[in-house]
Structure 1
Amino acid sequence: MISFNYETDFNSDNEKEFSDWISNTIEEENCKEGEINYIFCSDQYLHKINLEFLNHDTFTDIISFDYSAGKELHGDIYISVDRVAENAKEFNVKFEDELARVMIHGILHYCGYKDKTKEDKNQMRSKEDHYLSKRS
């Protein structure tokens, strides 16, 4: 089950579309959908989590906590809508497209993809692009 939670004024009008797309991605990755919570928040909210849990004093667009059990995906994915908006401007893309990229990025981590090395980052970007092309 995919749920959407809001700790900011932002609200998605496309929860069903996002949920169906994410479910299809999980299935295509041969994983099972467990309980996945998206929490949309501000820069300040996510910065506090970054400091408290990861000891990183930086702003970021996403932090995911993975509670998966094998191929059954479970977790909490925190997304800063402020950071997504900034990134969308910087990369000259629509806000919703950048939001979708960040949302699927968290799921791909749960599926086992990493992004620490250049090779891993390239594979992650390729997977993101693949699934972004499947959004309706």
Structure 2
Amino acid sequence: MIDLDNQTDFNIDISSVENIAKDLTKKDIELIIVDNNAIKELNKEHRNIDKATDVLSFPLEFEMPDMPLGSIVISIDFVEEKAKEYNHSLEDEFKLLFIHGLLHLVGFDHEVDDGEHRKKEEELINKYNLPKSLIVRNS
């Protein structure tokens, strides 16, 4: 279900994010873990924003059988920074960013919706007993 491309030293229990993904899709997802330099380049190339960010989502533009849903790119540097800032584990922070990115892949967009993305995010955070820091910092 998750096709992992880990370009860092970070060790993630992939089954923990696969369980989250199964709540929203049956499709495969490419999950790429990078550092701030790599995500900054992707952000500049695809969004014309010349700075690092925590998570990027790239949904496939065409829905076809047996094709993956898309790709989620997460910066391990942001994971480490926010986990320390909000005093929770790296794995919990990683899951929070994965949820955020996954919701973008399935069609949620907090930049244009009326709070649906945030509501679904909060629902998943509560279901998986994750820290509320993402809700706090995105409110």
The reply to whether residue 20 of structure 1 matches residue 30 of structure 2 is: no
Which structure has the highest strand share of the two? 1
Q: Which residue of 2 aligns with 1:96?
A: 91
After superposition, residues 1-136 of structure 1 pair within 5 angstroms as 1-12=1-12, 14-23=13-22, 25-26=23-24, 32-67=25-60, 69=63, 74-117=69-112, 119-120=114-115, 123-135=116-128
- The answer to whether the Cα contact below 8 Å between 2:30 and 2:71 also exists between their aligned partners in 1 is yes
* Cα distance between partner residues in 2 of 1:118 and 1:64: 17
* Cα distance between partner residues in 2 of 1:52 and 1:33: 29
The count of residues paired between Structure 1 and Structure 2 equals 127
Q: Which residue of 2 aligns with 1:29?
A: none
Unpaired stretches in structure 1, ≥5 consecutive residues: 27-31
* Cα distance between partner residues in 2 of 1:37 and 1:2: 6
Deviation at 1:9, TM superposition (A): 1.4
Deviation at 1:47, TM superposition (A): 0.7
Cα RMSD over matched residues?
A: 2.4
* Cα distance between partner residues in 2 of 1:90 and 1:9: 21
Deviation at 1:133, TM superposition (A): 2.5
* Cα distance between partner residues in 1 of 2:40 and 2:123: 30
Task: Write out per-residue CA displacement over residues 83-109 of structure 1, whole angstroms, 9 at most, x where no aligned residue.
Answer: 111122223332222211110111111
Q: Which TM-score applies when normalising by structure 1? A: 0.80
Q: Which TM-score applies when normalising by structure 2? A: 0.78
Change in CA separation of 1:95 and 1:83 when aligned onto 2, cut-off 3 Å: same
Identity of aligned residues (%): 32
